[in-house]
Amino acid sequence: MVRAVLERSRSRTGRHQELKAAFIVGGGAVKPVKLDPLRAVRVGTTYSRGEAFEMNVDLGKNDFLALVRLNRNSAGRLSGVIVLYDSSGREVLRAVIRKRKIRHSRGDPSLGILVHEIVRTMGLESIITRSQYRD
């Protein structure tokens, strides 16, 4: 089991936004983690408006959990982190998003194709202009 935080919040003025999402990657598919009201615990948000939940996610033997954290600031710039965990809970890849680019930070670069699939699933292809993980 791996701990995941799901959050969508914004500041009082609406200029800053925070999104934390989780995806299960395995078997050739990227599936978003659904909020389970029985296992989720409400936690504090980054900004004042919105909600956040913490829950444990069960993974299969060959599955990965992708935790995505995106932040949009007052200038409209998107920054964030994509972290991949294996089924035992070890971090196997970390990629950062800054200035509309995805950059490999640490971990196994051969898993970068999974990062590209997550970006495609989230609909961020039009925002991200450069990536070290493109086909």
Which H or E element spans position 114?
helix 112-122
Write out the residue range of the structural domain in which residue 98 sits: 2-131
31-71 residue pLDDT tens = 999 988 888 999 999 999 999 999 999 998 999 999 999 99
Q: Are 9 and 46 in contact (CB under 8 A)?
A: yes
Number of domains the chain is built from: 1
- Average pLDDT over the chain reads 91
Q: Which of 23, 21, 73 lies closest to 52 in space, CA to CA?
A: 21
| pTM confidence score | 0.91
Residue 131: per-residue pLDDT: 83
Q: Facing residues of 43 across strands?
A: 52
